[in-house]
Amino acid sequence: MLALVQRVLRAQVTVDGTPVGAIGRGLLVLVCAEQCDTELQSDKLLAKILKLRIFADAQEKMNLSLQDLVKAGIPAGLLVVSQFTLAADTSGGNRPSFKAAAAPDVGRRLYDYFVTHARLTHPIVETGVFAADMQVELVNDGPVTVPLRVSPASL
């Protein structure tokens, strides 16, 4: 599975002019299931995201995770948005190929699994709408943007 994680001051997803998910301080996570991905990759990716130390500590070093903020009583959200275009391959020319992305039914199942487990392990989880035309607004903090990949070969 792939993710693009952005540390944000706030983020919001809108569908057809209606906000469907929003957070204040936290992480905006664009997530993509690839062919051959399973729940195991989803679990590993979620664990990595929740423990990713990209928030500043008292010395202004990126040393705290989303979980650390919550343990310290600081509200910090997770906004999860499906993003199959993370699987884009442009090696064959200027038009991206998305053949590495999971089929839509598999992608939806793994996205739903990811969100369900995120909600079981983190107190503030908002989402977009799978396969919808979404508008995502964010204020990237830093900016800090980190790409992550958990593939079957990396397990």
Mean predicted lDDT score pLDDT of the chain = 97
Q: Both tokens of residue 66?
A: 């989303």
List b or e across 104-136, with b for residues whose CB sees 16 or more CB atoms inside 10 angstroms: eebbebbbebbbebbeeebebbbbbbbeeebeb
Active site residue: 6, 12, 41, 83, which one?
83
Identify the three-state secondary structure at position 6: strand
Average pLDDT over residues 96-101: 97
Domain 2-141 in CATH 3.40.50.720 = no
d(CA 104, CA 131): 8
Q: Where are the domains of the chain?
A: 2-141
DSSP conformational letter for 90: -
Active site residue: 35, 85, 116, 135, which one?
85
pTM of the model: 0.96
Average pLDDT over residues 127-155: 93
Q: Are strands 18-23 and 62-64 parallel, antiparallel or unpaired?
A: unpaired
